[in-house]
Amino acid sequence: MIKARRSYSKLIAAVAILAVTQIPAVRIFAAKAQPPAAEADLRNEHRLITKYLEDLSAYDKEAAELGKRQRLVAADIEPVERKSHDLTARLSGVQDAIREIVKKLKASNEWDDLDQNLVSRITSARDKSFFQQNSFKKFLEDGSRDLVSHDTEISAPLENLRRKLTSQTRSPYREAQIVNAAYVTPAPFFGAFGKCLMANIQLGLTWRLGGQESQKNQNQRLCYCDPGANTCAAAT
């Protein structure tokens, strides 16, 4: 009876020792077995930026069409003015969305290798070459930090129309004010600033989400980033 008790005690002690020694191994295995972080969901931010660029393109087109007129009623500029104010006010929301993209990519451990991983997803030779020479991370960093400082690019078409109003006459048959208008295309802007920056971020997001840039978006991006490419007419 005594021997049986001693044997049982030894067995309990051995089990306890085995359990203690195996706990670290179990913990290590559990840590290794954890699934990797899921990819960041950037669809909402992509939609917001895309919608903004669509509205911006429509605004630029309307301003350009007004600029072609020989005569304008002063009230013709009012819709463009409202759109300019709206787009300028919404620009901070676009910057916030870009900040959220950076935050999500860092949280999902995608930030460090973002450029390499993006290039690996791109099937277009031209876009692949572009992102091999330019950093998507840098576009996002610039957009999250400086985008709202380029708000004058948004108001430029409206200001250009105002500046180029060269004379004012009043029709003897109408109360509306008539003005002779001369429109000069705003000076081009290059690199990762303002409109061009947003278009490049949209392109990177499109590929990151498994899509491919449409011809219209491509024309608009090239118009914003390289007006000499003669794509502005096709974009609008």
Instruction: Return the top range by mean pLDDT from 5-9, 31-35, 39-43.
Output: 39-43
For 172, half-sphere exposure in the C-beta direction (CA atoms, 13 angstrom radius) is 0
Q: How far is CA 211 from the centre of its chain?
A: 14
Locate the domains of the chain by residue range. Answer: 43-235
Q: How many residues does the chain have?
A: 236
Q: Is 5 exposed, middle or buried (0-12, 13-18, 19+ CB in 10 A)?
A: exposed
Describe the chain by its helix, strand, coil percentages, rounded to 5: 70, 5, 25
In angstroms, rounded to a whole number, what is the distance separating the alpha carbons of residues 84 and 97?
20
Residue 39's Cα: distance from chain center in Å?
17
- pLDDT at position 127 over 80: yes
Three-state secondary structure string covering 163-207: HCEEEEEECCCCCCEEEEECCCCCCCCCCCCHHHHHHHHHHHHHH
Six-digit token pair at 195? Answer: 């409109």
Can you give the pLDDT at residue 40? Answer: 96
Q: Does 148 or 75 have the greater pLDDT score?
A: 148
**pLDDT higher than threshold 60 for residue 23:** no
Q: Kindly indicate the confidence band of residue 131, based on its pLDDT and cuts at 50, 70 and 90.
A: very high
pLDDT at 32 over 90: no
CA pair distance 99, 140, nearest whole angstrom? 8
- Tell me the mean pLDDT in the region 69-87: 89
Torsion of CA 63, 235, 214, 132, to 10 degrees: -100
At 229, the pLDDT band (50, 70, 90 cuts) reads low
As a whole number of Å, the end-to-end CA separation of the chain is: 97
Q: Which residues contact 217 (CB under 8 A, 6 or more apart)?
A: 53, 199, 202, 203, 206
* Rounded (10°) angle between helices 152-163 and 77-107: 170
Contact (CB, 8 A) for 177 and 170: yes
Q: What integer pLDDT is reported at residue 187 of this predicted model?
A: 42
Q: Are the C-beta atoms of 52 and 86 separated by less than 8 Å?
A: no
CA-based torsion, 142, 147, 149, 153: positive or negative: positive
Residue pLDDT, tens place only, 167-221: 454 444 444 444 454 544 444 433 438 999 999 999 999 999 999 999 999 999 9
Burial class (CB in 10 A: 0-12, 13-18, 19+), 196: buried
Tell me, what's the pLDDT at 189? 39
Rounded to an integer, the average pLDDT of 75-79 is 89
Rounded Cα distance between 89 and 41, Å, is: 26
